């Protein structure tokens, strides 16, 4: 396996070539060939492939389960590890990311791990300053205001080499997982990353980012294209480093209607899947299942199911049966318990899980929450959620 150092040392290769996309693809191949050649096959053998089987649409003995933000502040050990340094320094420390990723696995029999990182490392790697303000969230001191601000961004082909620390974290974690469960890599979808880069932080309306879509459609497409060009080698690099599945977070889908989503989000979501799959193939890497989670994107479920992803993640506002009717039988669904349901008693959690599992049915389904865990949640209740999924999903297979 490529070591952190050697991955980082390939940085120069990412700059070869004139046209961004060609450069990126070349770089992918160079990077992934090396990564693969030096030993993906040396990772410990996978002992629990339930999550991957469900993602690929194969039959499983029970319903696999993981939680968005399962490595999070609701765990006292997470708060302790995170307290050692600021948020993005943590993201840059492979040891810390590995530790944070493994923490929930020590408590709960989860069926997948997801690497601890943040979607905003991509805008950072493109040259934007991002800080995490405690109690407020991410802040960009110099957000994008005008089209000419795009000139400040680094060549997207350089992004993956900037993010070698994520690859190192993935490789380390994959080794330390010792084959217990698969490791998921992830990235933010282009529209969602754009909202942060234009808004400069969180926003209840995303009005500035949407103003770009309506007033500067060409510049918006240029930015979304840059982000796609950055994401493709970044996601391929994660697989080369050891990620066994990829989730794309379109967290801000819900601010767009059908028309804007179709113009400015969906094409890039499709591109990411197509180019990542093609890149993996070119690099001789085995394909991995890809998950698209477009929060509040209820209006685009049908399109998302045909966007090239094996799994469609759902928030809790979509009824399981309606979602299945809408997407057909060709994709796996993932989700979608209201995260706040974990505030309920363990009995009530059990009841809600039963209902969710009955509604989704036993196959082509991965249990999860409909959004990330919140910091004030009780770890015991996360355990109750995981146990209820395992228990009830075995029961319904017996009937």
- Judged by CB under 8 A, the residue of 338, 361, 363, 379 near its own copies is 338
What span, in angstroms and rounded, lies between the C-alpha atoms of 366 and 280? 24
- Judged by CB under 8 A, the residue of 34, 155, 348, 387 near its own copies is 348
Q: Does 298 bind its own copies (CB under 8 A)?
A: yes
Site for its own copies in 302-321 (CB under 8 A): 316-319
Q: Does 136 bind its own copies (CB under 8 A)?
A: no
| Known catalytic residue at 151 | no
Q: Does 258 bind its own copies (CB under 8 A)?
A: yes
Window of 161-169, 241-249, 275-283, 336-344 that interacts with its own copies by CB under 8 A: 336-344
Cis preceding linkage at 316, omega within 30: no
Q: Does 341 bind its own copies (CB under 8 A)?
A: yes
- Judged by CB under 8 A, the residue of 257, 284, 287, 328 near its own copies is 257
Neighbours of 286 (CB within 10 A): 10
Q: Is 332:112 a contact under the CB 8 Å cutoff?
A: no
Give the containing element (helix H, strand E) for 365.
strand 365-369
- Judged by CB under 8 A, the residue of 3, 85, 202, 281 near its own copies is 202
Q: Is 86:132 a contact under the CB 8 Å cutoff?
A: yes
Window of 154-162, 163-171, 172-180, 201-209 that interacts with its own copies by CB under 8 A: 201-209
Q: Tell me how far, at minimum, the Cβ of 319 lies from its own copies, in Å.
A: 5
Q: DSSP secondary-structure letter at 292?
A: E
Rg of the chain taking only CA atoms, in angstroms: 20
Q: Does 394 bind its own copies (CB under 8 A)?
A: no
What span, in angstroms and rounded, lies between the C-alpha atoms of 104 and 75? 8
**Which C-beta is closer to its own copies: that of 143 or that of 185?**
143
- Judged by CB under 8 A, the residue of 296, 301, 304, 364 near its own copies is 296
* Phi and psi angles of residue 135, each rounded to the nearest 5 degrees, phi first: 80, -5
Q: Does 87 bind its own copies (CB under 8 A)?
A: no
DSSP string, 221-271: HHHHHHHHHHHHHHHHHHHHHT-SEEEEEETTGGGS-HHHIIIIIHHHHHH
Q: Does 387 bind its own copies (CB under 8 A)?
A: no
| Known catalytic residue at 73 | yes
Q: Does 262 bind its own copies (CB under 8 A)?
A: no
- Judged by CB under 8 A, the residue of 33, 102, 344, 396 near its own copies is 344
Taking alpha carbons only, the member of 287, 263, 258, 261 closest to residue 274 is 287
Catalytic residue selected from 62, 196, 268, 365: 196
Q: Is 112:184 a contact under the CB 8 Å cutoff?
A: yes
Q: Does 260 bind its own copies (CB under 8 A)?
A: yes
* Phi and psi angles of residue 72, each rounded to the nearest 5 degrees, phi first: -155, 180
Burial class (CB in 10 A: 0-12, 13-18, 19+), 240: buried
Q: Does 210 bind its own copies (CB under 8 A)?
A: yes
Residues at the site binding its own copies, with contacts judged by CB under 8 A: 202, 204-205, 207, 210-211, 213-215, 254, 256-260, 296, 298-299, 316-319, 338, 340-341, 343-345, 348, 352, 370-371, 374, 376
Q: Write out the catalytic residue numbers.
A: 69, 73, 82, 118, 196
């Amino acid at each position: 396996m490529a070591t952190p150092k050697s991955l980082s040392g390939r940085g120069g290769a990412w700059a070869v070539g004139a046209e961004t996309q060609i450069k990126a693809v070349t770089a992918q191949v160079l990077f992934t060939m090396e990564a693969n050649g030096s030993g993906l096959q040396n990772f410990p053998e996978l002992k629990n492939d339930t999550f991957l089987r469900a993602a690929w649409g194969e039959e499983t003995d029970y319903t696999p389960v993981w939680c968005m933000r399962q490595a999070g502040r609701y765990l006292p050990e997470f708060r302790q590890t995170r307290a050692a340094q600021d948020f993005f320094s943590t993201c840059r420390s492979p040891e810390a990311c590995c530790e944070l990723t493994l923490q929930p696995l020590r408590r709960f029999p989860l069926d997948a791990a997801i690497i601890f990182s943040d979607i905003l490392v991509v805008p950072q790697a493109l040259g934007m300053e991002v800080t995490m303000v405690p109690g407020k969230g991410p802040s960009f001191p110099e957000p994008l205001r005008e089209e000419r601000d795009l000139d400040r961004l680094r060549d997207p082909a350089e992004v993956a080499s900037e993010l070698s620390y994520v690859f190192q974290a993935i490789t380390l974690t994959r080794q330390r997982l010792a084959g217990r469960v698969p490791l998921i890599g992830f990235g933010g979808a282009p529209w969602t990353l754009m909202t942060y880069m234009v808004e400069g932080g969180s926003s209840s309306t995303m009005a500035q980012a949407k103003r770009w879509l309506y007033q500067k459609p060409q510049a918006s497409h240029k930015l979304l294209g840059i982000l796609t060009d950055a994401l493709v080698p970044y996601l391929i690099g994660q697989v080369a480093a050891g990620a066994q599945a990829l989730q794309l977070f379109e967290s801000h889908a819900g601010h767009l209607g059908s028309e804007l989503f179709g113009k400015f989000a969906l094409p890039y979501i499709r591109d990411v899947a197509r180019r990542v799959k093609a890149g993996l193939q070119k690099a001789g890497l085995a394909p991995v299942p890809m998950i698209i989670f477009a929060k509040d994107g209820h209006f685009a479920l049908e399109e998302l199911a045909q966007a090239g992803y094996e799994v469609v993640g759902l928030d809790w506002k979509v009824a399981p049966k309606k979602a299945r009717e809408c997407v057909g039988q060709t994709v796996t669904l993932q989700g979608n318990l209201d995260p706040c349901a974990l505030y309920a008693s363990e009995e009530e959690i059990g009841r809600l899980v039963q209902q969710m599992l009955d509604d989704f049915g036993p196959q082509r389904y991965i249990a999860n929450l409909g959004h990330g865990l919140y910091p004030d949640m009780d770890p015991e209740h996360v355990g109750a959620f995981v146990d209820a999924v395992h228990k009830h999903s075995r029961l319904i297979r017996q009937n």
